[in-house]
Chains A and B, each alone.
Chain A
Amino acid sequence: MAEETLVADPAKVPRKRRLTKKKASRAKKNPKKPMLEGIGPNIIKVKKIDGKMKKLFRKRAREYNSDEDNDNDSMAVTGDDESSELEEVAMDNGASDDEENDEIIPGITKFVEGCRAFRIAFRSIIKKSVPDDSLGPVLSAHKKLIAEKLAEEEAERKIKGDAKKEKLLVGEKGHVKPDNYLDSHAKFLVGVATKGVVKLFNAVNKAQNAQKGLNPLRSKDAKALRKRRKETFFSELGKASQPAADTPAKGRTSTRQVDEEGPSWAPLRDNYMLTNSKLKDWDKFPEASVADDFRSMSEHGNSDDY
C-alpha cells in the first residue's frame, strides 16, 4: 500500500513544485489562499501572521485532517474493497500534498494503517449480532438491575396516574355536561319560566297602563295619580291603608313581608329618636352634619312626593 502511494507520488512532484511557485506568487495578491497551506514551508511564514490568524489556520488544518479521518471511516464502514480505498487515499494525498513535504507521506500511510485497524475493529462491532432486547446491549451486565428499576418506575407512574384520575373524578362529581338538544324536562322548565315571565309582564302592563291613561297635567287625573301613589307608598310602609292596592304578579312580591325592624328609613320607625342615645345632644353636632341631615330629609321628601 505504501509502495503504491510512493509510486503515485513521483508523478505529481514536479507539478507540485510548480504549483507552490504559482501559489507563492499568488499569495501576495490573495492573503486568503495561504491559509490552507499554513503548516508548511517558509514562503508563507514570511507573510505576516499574527497569533489570531495562526490559531485559525491551526483550527482549519485540524478540521481538514479530521474530515479526512471521517471520510476514511465512512469508507471503512461502507466496506468497499481495498483497492478503491487506496485510490481514495491517493486522491487525498493528491489534494492535500500540494505543500506537504515527503516527510509527511509515511505519516499518512501510517495513518491509513491505523485507520484500517480501526476499520476492522469497527466492522467487527457492527457485524456483531445483538439480541433484540428493549434494554439494548448497553450495560448488559446490569441488565437485571435496570429491568427492576424500570418496572418499579412504571408501577410508580401507574399509581400516581390512578391517584390523579381518582382525584379528578372526585372533583368532577356531580358535574354534568348538558345535552345539545332540549329534552322534555328542559322544555317543561322553560315553559314554567316563560309562564312566570308572561304573568309578570301582563301584571306590569296592567298596572302601568292604568297610570298611562292619566294625564298628570289635568287636575282630576293628577289627584287620582297622587292617590294611587299614596296607596302604594303606604302599602310599602306596611301600614296598608288598602291592602289590595298593589296586587303583585306572583307570590314573589306578595309574600314579601315588611322586615321585622320596620321600614329601613330610620325616621319612619316608631322608635325613631327614642332609643338612640347619641341624638340626645343633637345641638352639639357640627354644622355640616346638620346640613347633611336637611339635605337627606329633603331628598326623601322628594321621593315621597314622587
Chain B
Amino acid sequence: MARFKNKKKVIVKPVAKKKQPTVDHITGSKIPMSFVFSRGKLPGPLRQLQMDLRKLMLPYTALNLKEKKRNNLKDFLNVAGPMGVTHFLIISKTTTAPYLRVARTPQGPTLTFKIHEYSLAVDVIKSQLRPRCPQDLFKNAPLIVLSGFGTGDQHLKLTTIMFQNIFPAIDINTVKLSSCQRIVLLNYNKDTKLIDFRHYSIRLQPVGVSRRIRKFVQNHQVPDLRNLQDVSDFVTKAGYGSESEADDEAATVTLASDLGRVNRASTKSAVKLQEIGPRMTLQLIKIEEGLCSGGVIFSEYGSGDGKKKQDNEEDPEDQEDEDEDREDIVQDEEDHEENIVEDDDEDVD
C-alpha cells in the first residue's frame, strides 16, 4: 500500500526546449524534419540501411532515435508534434521484399515504395578505391535532384512534391555554396517504372590546372623534384591524365564566391560527384491519403481486387499496424488541433 501512495504523484517533465530552429532565419520558411524508423523486426542489413538513411537525412533528423517493440505509430506522432517533425520514413519488411514508406505528418499522404534492390553505404565505400568523407559532409542538408518525373502523371507529381519538401528549401540569393556538399538523386525510369535513389558528395576542383599543381596546392606537401631538370618543368610538364580526368565542359561552373583556397570565384571549377551510399531501387506501389491509412489515391496494382491482392501480400503485423493507425488518426485529429494552438503559443512567446 505504501508503495502505491508514493506512486500517486507523477511529475510530468516539461518538454525540453528545442535547440534547432524550426524556421529558417533567413528565408523564414519552415524547416522540414524527419524521423526514420522501422515497423516490425528488421534483419541486420536493413537495420543498417535505416541508419544510413538517418545519416542521409542529417542534420534535421533524430540520428539516435530509439524505438521499442511496443512503440506504435501513435507514439511517434505524439513526439513528432512538439518536436516539429514533418516527415516519417518508415522501413518495414515482408517475406517478399523490404518496403519504404514516406509520409507527411500528421495527416499524410503516405507513399509506399517497394525496395527492389539496395546497397548500404558501407558496400558503396568498399567498392571504391578512394572513398571520401570530409568532416563537415553531414552538417548541411543535401540538395535534391529529381529527374524524369515530368511525365504528367498525378502520382509522380505528388512524389516530386513530397521529396522536394523533405529537405529544406534553398534560396539561391542567400545560399552559400560551401553548404552544398551532398546531393540526393531520384531518377525515374519511365520504362521500368523504377526510381533510382542515389546519394553523392559534391567536390569542386579548378579547371585548366595540371594535376600536379592542384595536388601541390591542396596537400601542402613538398613535391618530389628528383626527376626534373628545372623548377619550371614542374609547372610546364603536364602529368599524365587519364580519360576520366579530362574535364567535361558540361560539368564546369563559375562560382559566385571563393570556395576554399583552391576554388576561386575568378576561375572555373569542375563539379565532381562521388557516391556515398546508400543506394536504392524503388518502385512506387501505393499512395494513401492519410498517415499509413485512409483512401488509396494510387495503387500500382490497380484498384479493386488488385488492392486486395496487395493487402494479402503484406504480413499480418502490417495490417495490425494499419488498424492501430486508423485509431491513431481519429485521435490524431484532436491532437492536431491542440498542436495548432501550441504552435501559436510558441510563436507568440
Contacts and interface: CB of A to CB of B under 8 A. Distances in A.
B185 A265 contact: no
A236 B27 contact: yes
B95 A170 contact: yes
Given A192-B185, A265-B347, A178 B172 contact: no
A253 B169 contact: yes
B271 A194 contact: yes
Interface stretch (A115-123, A130-138, A204-212): A204-212
A174 interface: yes
Given A176-B118, A208-B256, A256-B165, A197 B124 contact: no
Interface in B138-165: 143-147, 150, 160-161, 164-165
- Scoring A175, A179, A267 by chain B CB atoms within 10 A of each residue's CB, the highest score goes to A175
Nearest to A261: B340
Contacts of A211: 173
Interface in B37-70: 43-46
Contacts of B275: 186, 190
B88 to A, nearest CB: 18
Interface bracket on B: 35 or more
A254 B304 CA distance: 36
B171 A232 contact: yes
Interface string B24-39: 0111111000000000
A264 B86 CA distance: 13
A284 interface: no
Given A172-B43, A176-B118, A196-B147, A253 B185 contact: no
B253 A236 contact: no
A242 interface: no
Nearest to A304: B28
B66 to A, nearest CB: 22
B27 A292 contact: no
A289 B348 CA distance: 9
A43 B144 CA distance: 102
Interface string A169-211: 0111111111110000110011011111110111111011101
Contacts of B143: 196-197, 200, 252
Interface residues of A, number: 64
B202 A197 contact: yes
Secondary structure call for the A interface: helix
Contacts of A52: none
Contact of B172 (A194, A207, A251, A296): A207
B146 A252 contact: yes
A197 to B, nearest CB: 5
Interface in A142-180: 167-168, 170-180
A192 B172 contact: no
B237 to A, nearest CB: 29
Contact of B146 (A200, A204, A249, A251): A251
Contact of A173 (B28, B97, B171): B97
A208 B257 contact: yes
Contacts of A167: 43
Interface in B272-290: 273, 275, 279
B208 to A, nearest CB: 17
Secondary structure call for the B interface: mixed
A102 interface: no
B164 A252 contact: yes
A278 B338 CA distance: 13
Contacts of A1: none
B183 A197 contact: yes
A193 B255 contact: no
Contacts of B12: none
A246 B273 CA distance: 27
Interface in B287-306: none
B98 interface: yes
A83 interface: no
A292 B165 CA distance: 31
Please provide the 9 A-B residue pairs with the shortest distance between their CB atoms, ordered closest to farther: A171-B43, A196-B145, A266-B347, A208-B256, A201-B253, A205-B256, A193-B185, A264-B30, A178-B127
Given A167-B43, A168-B43, A208-B172, 11 more contacts: A171-B43, A174-B118, A178-B123, A192-B185, A193-B198, A198-B252, A205-B255, A236-B27, A236-B171, A255-B161, A265-B23
19 contacts: A173-B97, A175-B117, A177-B119, A189-B198, A192-B147, A194-B250, A194-B271, A196-B183, A197-B143, A198-B271, A209-B256, A232-B173, A246-B171, A251-B164, A252-B169, A264-B28, A265-B347, A279-B348, A293-B348
Interface of B: 22-23, 25-30, 43-46, 95, 97-98, 115-120, 123-124, 126-127, 143-147, 150, 160-161, 164-165, 169-173, 175, 177, 180, 183, 185, 187, 196, 198, 200, 202, 248, 250-257, 271, 273, 275, 279, 341, 343-345, 347-349
